[in-house]
Amino acid sequence: MRTVFVDPQRCIGCGQCEFACAVAHSKTRDPVMALAESPGARPRVHVQAGPVPNTAYPNKCHHCNPAPCIGVCPSGAITRDAAHDTVLVDGSRCIACAMCAMVCPFDTITFHPQVVQGDSRTIAVKCDGCIDRVRKGLIPACVETCKTGALRFGEINELIAADQRRETERVLVAASGGTEAGQDADGIAAWRATGAYVAHLGGVR
């Protein structure tokens, strides 16, 4: 099954994935018009700051299997789409009891007003894997907008294998006394170095 793979070493905390996610789940699907919607568009991925300056992690639903949220939902609002192995929330059945949030091991479920069958009411909001986009042959909005490659979409074993090959290349380059190639890697390293320098300046005042 295809999934969104997170590489936290490449995340710079820019928040573009959050914005793209909110727009993709808005009524208008327009980045300008979505800002004026009521209830407001909400992201389903949450970029959280790391313990070191300029480190971050884009936290999102992991679509666990088995999923604790499915097991505890008393109204049957949370189910799994078997074709895409994605855990989904049926807003028309959600009673906002928060049982799902209590058992979620990754703290990815939030509660916000959403338009459900013409009415606005508070329901559980979580990543749905951009299932509407995926069904059309598109990739999730967060992956499409990520400029550093921190979010990738594909078969999990293929993504892991690609990471293993990349790490092997890094080790071989280091062993030969060379420098790691790749403009993306250099850009991310420069971003982190700038953040560390700014943090140092703040500490010496």
Provide the residue ranges of all domains of the chain, joining segments of one domain with +. Answer: 1-60+127-205, 61-125
| pTM, entire model | 0.80
pLDDT at 205 over 50: no
Q: What pLDDT score does 23 carry?
A: 97
Q: Decide yes or no: CATH 3.30.70.20 for domain 61-125.
A: yes
Domains 1-60+127-205 and 61-125 share a fold: yes
Please give, one letter per residue, the 3-state secondary structure of the chain: CEEEEECHHHCCCCCHHHHHHHHHCCCCCCCCHHHHCCCCCCCCCEEEECCCCCCEEEECCCCCCCCHHHHHCCCCCEEEECCCCEEEECCCCCCCCCHHHHHCCCCCCEEEEEEECCEEEEEEECCCCCHHHHHCCCCCHHHHHCCCCCEEEEEHHHHHHHHHHHHHHHHHHHHCCCCCCCHHHHHHHHHHHHHHHHHHHHHHC
pLDDT at 187 over 90: no
Q: Which CATH code of 3.40.50, 3.90.105, 3.30.70, 3.10.350 fits the domain covering 1-60+127-205?
A: 3.30.70
Lowest mean pLDDT among 90-104, 162-176, 186-200: 186-200
Q: What's the whole-number mean pLDDT along residues 70-82? A: 97
